Each structure stands twice: as C-alpha cells, then as structure tokens.
Amino acid sequence: MSYQNDVANFMKAGEQPVRSELSLEGDQATLYMNLISEEYQETLSAFKTNDMIEVADGLADMVWVIMGMCNSCGIDFDSVWQEVKASNMSKFPNGKAIKNDHGKIMKPDSYFKPNIKKVLDLEE
C-alpha cells in the first residue's frame, strides 16, 4: 500500500497534476500547503476538545494533504521517509533511548542528521 500513490490517483482523477520533477512553484503547491495548515488546525481543535473521532479523521486528512503536497512538488516521500527513519533510529545507541524530563528522545553521539539533499538527488 502506498499512501502517496492513492493520493496521486485521486489527484489525477481530479485533474490535478502530479509532478515528477522537484519544484515548490505554482498555485497547487500553495493550495496543498494551505490545506496542510487547515487540517492541522482542525485536528488541534479536536484534540483540545478530546474528540477522538475527529482527531483520527484529522490525522488521516493531514497524511492525505501531505501526500498531495509531495505529489505537487515532485517529492518521493518513501525515499525521504526511509532516510529520516534511519536517522531517527540512530538515536538508540545500544538499543536504549535517552529521554529528557518530558519524555522526548534526545540525540546522542550516535545520531546522524538525515541527508535529504542526497535522497532528493540535489547534491552537486
């Protein structure tokens, strides 16, 4: 299953272009960025009112519009995800997390920053 492909099919059916080249230009990228903001605000509001159904719906809607943004900008999300996942997993030296007082997992010496530039093939 590919969320990005599901959204690409929706976009094509709705006569929205799906880019293969990287670009942040155009009205469609702006539209999807606005939709991301809108869905986030709706999800935050549902969270604040303890509405589990609307939070779940909002989370799915956010993933949908984020995949739409990736399709609008030519970003292969799965490749980016794999790089970020590898980076995040580098936070567990010897399989153990180091957390701050709020439970956030911290960046130990083993941490490496994701190389998104390489994944997007933007290195010179």
| Fold of the CATH domain 1-75 | putative ntp pyrophosphohydrolase like fold (1.10.3420)
> Residues 6 or more apart from 45 whose CB is under 8 A from it?
54
Mean pLDDT within 1-28:
95
Per-domain boundaries in the chain: 1-75, 76-124
| Residue in 70, 62, 29 with CA at minimum distance from that of residue 46 | 62
Render pLDDT for 80-116 as a digit per residue (tens, 0 to 9).
999 999 999 999 988 889 999 999 999 999 999 999 9
| Residue in 43, 53, 17 with CA at minimum distance from that of residue 32 | 17
